[in-house]
Amino acid sequence: MTCCGAKGHLRISPNGLKHFYHAIKSAECGGVPESLEHMELKNFIYQICKSEGWWVQPEYQSPSGDWRADVLAMKDGRKIVFEVQLSIIDLEELKRRESKYRRDGIESYWVLKNFLKFFPDDDTTIVASSNSCIFIDTYINESEFSLYREQLLFVEHGIRSIGLLLQDNCLYTAEILAIDIADWVKSTLRGEYETAFRNFENNYQKKLKLRDIAKPEMKKLCNFSSRCCQYEDEIKNSYAFFKVNEWENRSSMLKGISYLYSTFDSFENAWEKIVSPQNGFVWEDPMDQGQEEPILNLFSETQITSIHDQINNLETEESNFRSVLNYVGEQVEKKRVEKREKLIQLYKEITKKKTLPKNYKILFEFFSELPTPTVESQRGYKYQNFAGLTSEIHIEDAVEFEKKGYGKIVK
């Protein structure tokens, strides 16, 4: 018997059908009777192949005896097998059976009822659009590289497949939800379905290559964006400190502050120029949170090379900006130190009087990270965690907290 290799006998049914049956029933035989749907679909494929002028045979047994095809069609040196699978088949079993066809130089096409159930609760009759989800990683939409069932089976395992909606008597793929069975069989015989798979795989591999080239550049671009936010805070803090204090060289410092803003604008503009439509970027709000971000559409290696060159220019712009930022920062910090020393000296002079006015407060900026939810001074005064905020506190507490690293005296 072809199903299990056990002995069988010939007999004729009451309806005149000649067939073989097991001489001894065995629990080891994995063969099960074909369903009516399976036989009808197999016969339909057989008839289409025959009408297209192919030599065709159902239930074809291989010369080696280690495989049997539902339908084998041959013409002009091509050998094509159609396998109809209405029950759930394990992926490893599918790969094992496919390897035998590949070994014997045969094109095989698997008609899979609802494809494969990769997950227990998977409703495989519903195929989502390729744009239904977006997952952004360093400006690249990674969900574009997700593979649907027929794509996954072909790209990763070399298996050509198509889904079957038995109740609707039609086939489907991830992108086409209703395909006439006869049309598909004819296109397969013409080599069009195979060509579609090859074209998809070639384009997919090209996109994978472009992603590998683009990712390091996109990571740099993301880091630039993060540093931009930090730079904005540093500029604001420097300008705020400059504005509320007296400067001996105010005119010179004002020019430095103006130049700082100018070089930052040049740096920021260079970044915005890169993440523009000219380079293949589109701005979208993928999470519907009211915040758009750039997403890169990959086109070619030339596109990535151009972005790489622009990033090199961006690094130069950043270097120019940082040199100005460092200069202004040094001047501001120098002024802060002078002011702090004067304040501490004033504090020492006041403490000699033993008592301090109750309203003797100064402006203190708490750092964004504090050791506890509430900080307490040596005077016994407790302050709620004002992380990242500026508040008026007693001068004695301010000096103590600054020494402890809780923040800095502003005014």
Q: What is the pLDDT of residues 364-392, one digit of tens each?
A: 888 777 777 778 888 888 887 666 677 78
**Residue 254 CA: distances (Å) to CA of 249, 260, 326, 336:** 9, 10, 15, 17
Residue 350 has pLDDT above 90, yes or no: no
Question: Hey, where are the domains in the chain?
Answer: 1-33, 34-190, 207-350, 356-411
- The answer regarding whether domain 34-190 maps to CATH 2.115.10.20 reads no
Q: When comparing pLDDT for 337 and 34, which is higher? A: 337
User: For residue 389, how many other CB atoms are within 10 A of its CB?
Assistant: 12
Strands (E) across 333-406 are located at 361-366, 374-376, 382-384, 390-394
Q: Are 21 and 11 in contact (CB under 8 A)?
A: yes
Strands (E) across 23-169 are located at 55-61, 68-75, 78-85, 107-113, 136-137, 140-141, 160-165
What are the percentages of helix, strand and coil residues in the chain, rounded to 5?
Answer: 45, 20, 35
Query: Which residue, among 180, 36, 168, has the nearest Cα to 114 in the 3D structure?
Result: 168
Phi, psi of 220, deg, nearest 5: -60, -45
Split at pLDDT 50, 70, 90, the class of 21 is confident
Average pLDDT over residues 105-122: 78
Query: Which residue, among 197, 328, 317, 159, has the nearest Cα to 260 in the 3D structure?
Result: 328
- As a CATH number, domain 356-411 is 3.40.5
**Burial class of 163 by CB neighbour count within 10 A (0 to 12, 13 to 18, 19+):** buried
Residue 28: the pLDDT is 60
> By mean pLDDT, which of 164-168, 255-259, 329-333 is the weakest?
164-168
Average pLDDT over residues 142-151: 86
Radius of gyration of the chain (CA): 37
Tell me what percent of the residues of the chain surpass a pLDDT of 90.
Answer: 51
In whole angstroms, what is the distance from residue 385 CA to residue 244 CA? 25
Pairing of strands 107-113, 160-165: parallel
Q: Are 217 and 311 in contact (CB under 8 A)?
A: yes
Pairing of strands 382-384, 390-394: unpaired
Q: When comparing pLDDT for 39 and 90, which is higher? A: 39
Q: Are 402 and 408 in contact (CB under 8 A)?
A: yes
Q: When comparing pLDDT for 349 and 327, which is higher? A: 327
Residue 130 has pLDDT above 50, yes or no: no
Residue 7 has pLDDT above 80, yes or no: yes
Residue 206 has pLDDT above 60, yes or no: yes
Tell me what percent of the residues of the chain surpass a pLDDT of 70.
Answer: 88
Average pLDDT of the chain is: 86
Q: Are 47 and 61 in contact (CB under 8 A)?
A: no
In whole angstroms, what is the distance from residue 272 CA to residue 47 CA? 61
Residue 131: the pLDDT is 45
Residue 181 has pLDDT above 50, yes or no: yes
Average pLDDT over residues 180-189: 97
Q: Are 107 and 194 in contact (CB under 8 A)?
A: yes
Which of the residue ranges 9-23, 256-270, 374-388 has the most confident prediction, judged by mean pLDDT? 256-270
Amino acid residing at 170: C
Strands (E) across 271-401 are located at 281-284, 293-296, 361-366, 374-376, 382-384, 390-394
Q: Is 0.75 surpassed by the pTM of this model?
A: no
> By mean pLDDT, which of 133-142, 170-179, 227-236 is the weakest?
133-142
Which of the residue ranges 11-25, 77-91, 242-256, 316-330 has the most confident prediction, judged by mean pLDDT? 316-330
Split at pLDDT 50, 70, 90, the class of 119 is low
Split at pLDDT 50, 70, 90, the class of 129 is very low
Split at pLDDT 50, 70, 90, the class of 23 is confident
**Burial class of 174 by CB neighbour count within 10 A (0 to 12, 13 to 18, 19+):** middle
Average pLDDT over residues 323-344: 88
Average pLDDT over residues 133-156: 87
Split at pLDDT 50, 70, 90, the class of 342 is confident
Tokens (6 digits) for 174: 């991830």
Dihedral angle sign, alpha carbons of residues 307, 309, 312, 318: negative
In whole angstroms, what is the distance from residue 281 CA to residue 295 CA? 5
Split at pLDDT 50, 70, 90, the class of 324 is very high
Residue 29: the pLDDT is 64
Query: Which residue, among 115, 43, 118, has the nearest Cα to 82 in the 3D structure?
Result: 43
Phi, psi of 393, deg, nearest 5: -135, 165
Q: Dihedral of the CA atoms 401, 404, 407, 411 (nearest 10)?
A: 50
Residue 128: the pLDDT is 42
